[in-house]
Amino acid sequence: MRLIATIAAVLFASTYVFAIESQDGEAFCNYLIEQAKAQRNYLRAPSLVSGVTQPETGLPMQAFGGISNSLSSDKKAGLTMTVAHRNCELYKETVGAQQQIQYALADFEKKALKHRLELIQEALGKLDELLGQNLKRVQAQNMTRVTMYALQADKMKLVEDKISTQMKFAALYAPSMSDTPVKLLIAQKQDSEVETQRAIARLNRQNNWDVALEIGTHRQINTTTAVPGASLIGAYGQVNITYNLGTRSIDKHLDLAADSYGTWKLNQTGDVVQNAQILKQEIADSIAVEESGLSALLDQSQVIEANLQLVAESDTSAAADFRNQLTADKLLLEVELGDAAFRLEELQAYLSKNF
């Protein structure tokens, strides 16, 4: 079961190209904000206009030059920054949820392996104490060295288990995990998805209308036709107002698009919402396996306890040898029982808290 859990953690993590750290979010946000600032400055800055025009009133051709500014562009400038900040927060929330899901099993496995090491160390201490007691009996010629060898073999099994557990612990990587439940991270991320799309929709709505202001000067090109005493240079100003007649329908579809985007992200294969459901199922399946395994170990423990009771009052050499072996087996079994019980308790607690 421990090997299966380790493999599952590795396979789950392999669905991502690389591990995303907090500095990655900051770097991406800096990129977004700088891009948005450039677009904001572009939208806010007035435009220089110049050209040649032929007035419809029959006046001579004139050259003109001035400055033009759009109220819609001014509005877009502020909304562009809002969208950038929303995308930044969405990215961080998505990364946080991804990391929590990606490393959940690895983090659990490291905790379980650390606890197992503590159990093994405790069992080794008890076994060393038992070996010390029996060494005195061997020296007093009340026990054979064959029995001692059997106890030494059990100790070697524990030592090998300890080394194997340490290697597994060292091979697993799990960053510092947030205490925020996965269900809350998912809810925050999902809300942020919709809010980001709504911010984009508000930005797109600015294309439905515009009020453009333009001021400047004009000069008559052909001076030969100029009226004597009249000025060849004059000022001009104009206001252009545009409004899309399909605004109401456009806004309706933009709102529906934002809601549909949120629904899509809930069902998108590979999105954190779906990955969270996969993790939930994996943990539920692991709980079922651990419950079955713990039940089988408890049955074995009862068998050992029953046998220990049978030889508890006997003082024969054979009974003492059998009692020693049963005690050593009990110590090894206690490691497995403690490990299984810890895993089951931690899995149940994680499932209850996060889902």
| DSSP tag of 200 | H
Strand, coil or helix: what is 67?
strand
Q: What is the CA radius of gyration of the chain?
A: 38
CA–CA distance from 191 to each of 1, 32, 37, 256, 296 (Å)? Answer: 37, 20, 25, 15, 45
The position carrying tokens 């110590």 is: 331
Q: What's the pTM?
A: 0.74
pLDDT given for residue 228 in this prediction: 62
| DSSP tag of 143 | S
Asked if 146 and 322 count as a contact pair (C-beta separation under 8 A), the reply is: no
Asked if 147 and 321 count as a contact pair (C-beta separation under 8 A), the reply is: yes
pLDDT truncated to tens, each residue of the chain (355 aa)? 343 343 333 334 334 433 444 677 889 999 999 999 999 999 999 999 888 887 666 667 888 888 999 999 999 999 999 999 999 999 999 999 999 999 999 999 999 999 999 999 999 999 998 888 877 776 666 666 666 777 888 899 999 999 999 999 999 998 888 889 999 999 999 999 999 999 999 999 999 999 999 999 988 877 665 556 556 788 888 899 999 999 999 999 998 998 898 888 888 877 888 999 999 999 999 999 999 999 999 999 999 999 988 887 777 777 878 888 888 999 999 999 999 999 999 999 999 999 9
The position carrying tokens 């030889």 is: 311
Q: Which of 340, 337, 309, 272 is nearest to 1 (CA)?
A: 340
pLDDT given for residue 88 in this prediction: 94
pLDDT given for residue 225 in this prediction: 59
Considering Cα of 68, then 72, then 77, then 78, what sign does the dihedral take? positive
| E runs forming strands in the chain | 47-53, 62-70, 209-220, 233-243
pLDDT given for residue 24 in this prediction: 76
The position carrying tokens 């799990």 is: 174
214 beta partners? 68, 238
Domain boundaries, the chain: 2-103+175-259
State residue 47 phi and psi, 5-degree precision: -110, 140
pLDDT given for residue 269 in this prediction: 77
Neighbours of 73 (CB within 10 A): 20
Neighbours of 21 (CB within 10 A): 12
pLDDT given for residue 57 in this prediction: 62
